[in-house]
Structures are given as structure tokens and as C-alpha cells.
Amino acid sequence: MIHRRNLLTGLASLPLLSAPALLSAQPMAVITPAVAAPDTAPVARPLPPIAPQFMPTPVNVQPDLIPNSIIVLSDQFYLYHITAPGKAMRYGVAVGRAELVFRGQAEVGRKVEWPSWKPTPEMIARSPSHYAKYADGMPGGPTNPLGARALYLYQNGHDTAIRIHGTTEPQSIGSAASNGCLRMVNEHVIALYDQVALGTPVFVY
């Protein structure tokens, strides 16, 4: 459970985040499930097996959260798309491994369907045997690690190299498994992609 005092303490290390604009007098723990998820996400094939709590779920949230924003609670492996005052759609995500977790405020600066992928120099340096062969990039498609859609996170007009994207490893949802990006099941990221505009604010805790 995340309490306001603990969350505000964590925000002290994130100067890009504006805590008063994000939080009300109530703790983030007021985010609670409402009803079962509607069958509205585009589905081209049966959904992969993931834990039920990571399926898309409408939830009630604090009414002062910014409409049309995205909030990620990394420690809980949840992404919330705030759809209206007091309402959100909650998705399960995979986040970065311990030393690679991205936290801060950004915005959606680019959107791409079936994006190409190129490992960062840092990724290649950490694991050259795995990533060096992709140094020139990999075209988009069903085997691409970024999956069906990608939302590129920018800060002050600059690409952070962090993406909210689909995945070829849906079994990783609900774990700390990535190189810093936020993974979603392909069908789920397609649904989010269709609802999110360029410039959407993103808060990652």
C-alpha cells in the first residue's frame, strides 16, 4: 500500500514531478478495482496467459488526477490511463530491472505502429553477446521486441529512450524484466495507443 507521506518522500528525488498537481489529500491507495474489464480492446488472437489482476480493468481513482494522463506505479506493475475525473483504465506492465527503473515525469513525444528497434549503446555494453548483432537496428514486426505499438517518452523535447510498448514476452508482465522501458501485452498497448494523444503527460513512480 502506498501512503501519501511515503509517496511524497519519493517525489522529493524527482524534481520534474509536481506533487501538488498530482496528489490530493488522500493516498494513492484509493485506486481500487471497480468492475470487470470490458471487452473493448482490439483482439487479433487469444490473449496470452497473464495473471488476472494485470488484465485491463476500469478503476476509481482520486478525482483530482489529470484527465488523459498516464500514471505508472512501478512497484505495483500497474499503468493507469486517467480517462475522466475519478476514472481510469488500469493495465499490467513489466518495468525495468532494479538498477534500470525509470522514474520521473515525461510526455508522449512520438507514437509509432509496429516500431523498429535499436538497442542503446548502454544495452550493448551491458550485454554485447545479446544486443551487438542488432546494433544497426531491427525492422518492426511480430518478432520485434517493441511489439505492435510504442509511445516514446520525451522530456523537454528530448527523447529519453524510454518507451511504453508491446512485447514478444507477455509472460514478463508483472515483473521487473526490461532495460528500463514499460512493456504491455500487444493487445493492451494497441488499446492504449488508440486513446493517447501526443503531448500526454506521463508520471512514473
Which tens digit of pLDDT belongs to each residue from 85-107?
999 999 999 998 877 788 999 99
Identify which of 10-19, 27-36, 153-162 has the greatest average pLDDT: 153-162
| Active-site residue set | 165, 181
Domain ranges of the chain: 4-204
Question: Averaged over 171-190, what is the pLDDT?
Answer: 94
- CATH number for the domain running over 4-204: 2.40.440.10
Degrees to nearest 5, angle at CA 199 with 137 and 123: 30
- List the grid coordinates of 149: 505499438
Where does 46-204 have alpha helices with state H? 121-126, 128-131, 186-195
Q: Is 72 helix (H, G, I), strand (E, B) or coil?
A: strand
pLDDT in tens, 15-61: 333 322 333 323 333 343 333 333 444 444 555 579 999 999 999 99
- pTM for this prediction: 0.74
Q: Does the pLDDT at position 68 exceed 70?
A: yes
Reported as a pLDDT band with limits 50, 70 and 90, residue 140 is confident
Which pLDDT does position 137 carry in this prediction? 67
Report d(CA 111, CA 126) in Å as an integer: 27
Containing H/E element for 11?
helix 4-11
Which pLDDT does position 178 carry in this prediction? 86
CA 134: distance to chain centroid? 24
Report d(CA 49, CA 28) in Å as an integer: 28
97 vs 3, which has greater pLDDT?
97
23 vs 147, which has greater pLDDT?
147
